[in-house]
Each structure stands twice: as structure tokens, then as C-alpha cells.
Amino acid sequence: GQPGRTDAFAIDIGEWRAGIPMVFADFAVGNELAALAGATVRLKVDATLTLGTDHNVIAETRLGNPKNVVMVGAHLDSVPAGPGINDNGSGSAAILETALQMRNYPVRNKVRFAFWAAEEIGLLGSDQYVEGLTTAQRDRIRLYLNFDMVASPNYAYKLYDGDDSDAVGSPAGPPGSAQIEQQLARFFDRRGLGHVGTDFDGRSDYGPFIAVGIPAGGIFTGAEGIKTPAEQALFGGTAGVAYDVCYHQACDTISNPNLTAFDVNADAIADSTARYAFNTNAIP
Ligand code: PHE
Ligand code: ZN
Ligand code: ZN
Ligand code: ZN
């Protein structure tokens, strides 16, 4: 992080197991580790820190059934260390272009695009949005699609494992999540492109949605994890190297994203959004 800014955060997760440093410079990483451990997080915020205000940007189609809302989201913020072009300029740009291209579609369902604030400091924007919904508003959201990092330089086409069929260790998502994963998978299948599952563990803005039982899915091309030899065989790139070596770094600039992955995923995002805009019958 930026010197003098991330240093202002210290997270004490005393219940975390031995061997893990007790103080994290990164609020988001601390939250994730604590969530995995089921630990209690105590935040110590340094007096030099100034907490600001940020806003979600939400736009929805005028047309379409308001009782059957298709939500599509991407976080707009980045970490202080860098410009965040893959994380998450990529997802934000892809959903923005989808919204622009769809603007005159006679959609049957209402399509609501969310550009989330403050994902990197603990899913604050999406969490506040979901928390602020009435039960009736929540029930009208038929599904949520999330796009966070869709152009990683050493990419894999990873689909959130809503059906828990990919042995990646996370539980299945709410009913309907399996169908979303399968619809996204068909896009890659039709193009003769491989795809793999990825943990559906709440590490991005879909977390608050699945926590209240809203079916969700999405595409992810990998962050700090290491590409496997099997993934190299499927997608090319380099096994043994991180999917995005510039993840949360200053080098996540306009030269970081892989434009092949970005192009494919932008199409997959538009395809899935447009299909659900007209027909959500596959979602229970
Ligand atoms: N949410 C993480 C970030 O913004 C990236 C991520 C997305 C990690 C999806 C895992 C799964 O940094
Ligand atoms: Zn990030
Ligand atoms: Zn992200
Ligand atoms: Zn799966």
C-alpha cells in the first residue's frame, strides 16, 4: 500500500493460528483471513487515518419487469498501491459497455448495473446495498452476476463454482447458482474454450448476495494464485507463475491486462446479461 496510508491500519486477529503474522497492512486481506479462520477481528485504526465517503453507482433499465431484476456488478475502486486496471477496471469497463450496448433493448426483465465502492476495504459498498434492501426488494432480485478481474495477464477462465462440481473446496451457492455457472460454461463451450471452477467463498461483491440466498455467479481470471500445469495446457500462459503478478501492485496499469481474455470475457458478460435480461426461467 501507499506508505503512510495502509500503515495506518493494523488488524489484530489473535485467534488466527500460529505462523501467520499478527498484524496486516491490508484491511481486506485481514478480513479474508479472519473470515477463513472464523476468527474475531479487532480493528485498530490509527488516528492519522481519514475515513472518506464513497458511493456506489447504480443504473437500471427503464424497461423490464421490476419484480424480476437481473443484477450485474463490478467494483470500481482499487487498492491505493496502483491504478487497478485489471482489478477492477476490467470488470467495470466490461459491464459499462454491456449497459451501453443494451440501452435500447426491449428487455423483459429489469437489468440493474452496480459499480460498487470500497470493495477493497471489505466489500463495503455491496454489503451496505444488500443490507439496505427491504425483504420485498431483495425477493425481486432474481440473480446477481459479478465481474472482478476478468483480464489477468496469465489468465484462466474461472467460473464461480455455484454447483460445487469442481472440487475447489467451497460450498455450493444458493439454488440457481449452479444454473448460472452452467450458462456461463456453455458460452465457453460454444467457443471451444476451456473453463475451470473457482472457490465460491465470498471474496468479492457477490458475497453479501449469496449470504442472503440470492443466486449468483461470475467470471474471474485469477489474482495472486499460481497457474497449474493443467491450466497452462487449457489456457496457455505460464504454469508456476501467478495469474496476475501485478495483483494489488503499482504495475496493474493499462499495460497489465491480457486483451484476449478481456475480449472473450466482455463477450461472455454481454451474452449472459442479455440472455437473463430476456429469460430467467432456468433460475428457480
Ligand atoms: N476480490 C479480490 C480483489 O478485489 C479479487 C478476487 C476476486 C479474489 C474473486 C478471489 C475471487 O482483490
Ligand atoms: Zn483487489
Ligand atoms: Zn477486485
Ligand atoms: Zn462448478
Q: What gap in Å lies between CA 12 and CA 230, rounded to an integer?
A: 38
Query: Is the bond leading into 88 cis (omega within 30 degrees of zero)?
Result: yes
Rounded Cα distance between 33 and 20, Å, is 10
Q: Is the pLDDT of residue 3 over 70?
A: no
pLDDT at position 271: 98
Span from the CA of 84 to the centroid of ligand 3 (angstroms): 8
Lowest mean pLDDT among 20-24, 29-33, 279-283: 20-24
Which has more pLDDT, 269 or 52? 269
Q: How far is the CA of 77 from the centre of ligand 3 (A)?
A: 8
pLDDT-derived band at 13 (thresholds 50, 70, 90) equals very low
Burial class (CB in 10 A: 0-12, 13-18, 19+), 167: exposed
Of 149, 152, 224, 252, the residue with max ligand 1 atoms within 8 A of its CB, to mutate for a pocket test, comes to 149
Total-model pTM: 0.84
Q: What is the position in ligand 1's atom list of the atom closest to the CA of 28? A: 12
User: Is pLDDT above 80 for 41?
Assistant: no
Confidence tier at 51 by pLDDT (50, 70, 90): low
**CA of 223 relative to ligand 1 center, distance in Å:** 7
Chain center to CA of 227: 19
Nearest CA to ligand 1 atom 1: 204
Q: Evaluate if residue 24 carries a pLDDT over 80.
A: no
**253 grid coordinates:** 496499469
Residue 7 is predicted with a pLDDT of 29
Active site residue 119: yes
Q: What pLDDT does 218 receive?
A: 98
| Residues 86/149, Cβ–Cβ less than 8 Å | yes
Between CA 91 and CA 100 the distance in angstroms is: 14
Which residue is closest in CA terms to ligand 1's atom 10? 203
Look up residue 275 and give its amino acid. Answer: R
C-alpha cell at 237: 500462459
Please identify, by atom number, the ligand 1 atom nearest to the C-alpha of residue 199.
11
CA of 77 to the centre of ligand 4 (A): 28
Which of 22-36, 64-78, 162-176 is most confident? Answer: 64-78
Answer whether residue 267 shows pLDDT above 70. Answer: yes
Q: Which ligand is nearest to the CA of 172?
A: 4
Query: Cell numbers of 6, please?
Result: 495502509
Closest ligand 1 atom to Cα of 248: 12
Residue 2 has pLDDT above 70, yes or no: no
Interface confidence (ipTM) of the complex: 0.94
Q: Which of 144, 171, 131, 177 is nearest to 73 (CA)?
A: 144
Probe target for ligand 1 pocket from 158, 203, 206, 248, with the most ligand atoms within 8 Å of CB:
203
Closest-lying ligand 1 atom to the alpha carbon of residue 120 = 4
CA dihedral defined by 36, 31, 139, 89, rounded to 10 degrees?
-110
Percent of the chain, pLDDT > 70? 82
Q: How confident is the model at residue 81 (pLDDT cuts 50, 70, 90)?
A: very high
Does residue 256 surpass a pLDDT of 90? yes
Lowest average pLDDT, out of 25-34, 49-58, 82-91, 109-118, goes to 25-34
pLDDT tens-digit readout, 205-232: 999 999 999 999 999 999 999 999 999 9
- 57's enclosing H/E stretch is strand 57-60
Residues near 127 by beta carbon (within 8 Å), at least 6 away in sequence: 207, 208
Q: Whose CA is nearest to atom 11 of ligand 1?
A: 203
Query: Which is catalytic among the residues 15, 60, 119, 231?
Result: 119
Ligand 1 centroid to residue 158 C-alpha, Å: 12
Asked whether the predicted pLDDT for residue 6 surpasses 90, the reply is no
